Amino acid sequence: MVWLPERLDPADDSLPVWMERYLDLAVRGARSTEVIAKISRHLERFGAWIADGLGHDRLSAVTVREVTAWRDHLAAAGNRGRDDTPAPMAPATVNNHLAHLSALFTWITAHAPEGLLRHGDPTKKSPRYHCPPRSRERWPPPRCAPSRTSWTGSRPSTS
């Protein structure tokens, strides 16, 4: 069990405050500097997206709907292209963002005052992102194509 103050103010409903607590008490010191930076960046993206979309950063306002909408946003326009226009994110990258968010909410659920997350952990009911359906025009689809090795377990012959 990590240390938290004995009495947390139930009104302490700030997503950035809980993100920082999580990073301080559960991530820093347990992960490498690079991984800490990556987790922090992913959580900050979610926090900024929530603040922009909802106009506030209340933790209790985050529901499955917001998590799913963020997942869809990342898949459609989570990256920046070369000309600084929105570009889609690879499914594995989207799922990596969701995994970090899920770890945060699992930790919050275990350490937050009762009733702060009235609807429970919003990441538990949000489905992972999967590749879009196959296109007949282009197979394998970009970014979603498994290698031949993963399909058959064999390498292509060289003869």
Q: How far apart are CA 87 and CA 143, in angstroms?
A: 13
Which of 53-57, 115-119, 136-140 shows the lowest per-residue confidence on average (mean pLDDT)?
136-140
Helix (H) or strand (E) holding 39: helix 33-54
Residue 111, both tokens? 């350490």
Greater pLDDT, 76 or 151: 76
38-87 pLDDT, tens digit per residue, is 999 999 999 999 999 989 899 998 999 999 999 999 999 988 888 999 99
CA distances, 39 to each of 30, 98, 128 (Å): 12, 10, 18
pTM: 0.75
Q: Is the dihedral of CA 3, 14, 10, 121 positive or negative?
A: negative
Closest CA to 61 of 48, 50, 73: 50
Amino acid in position 46: F
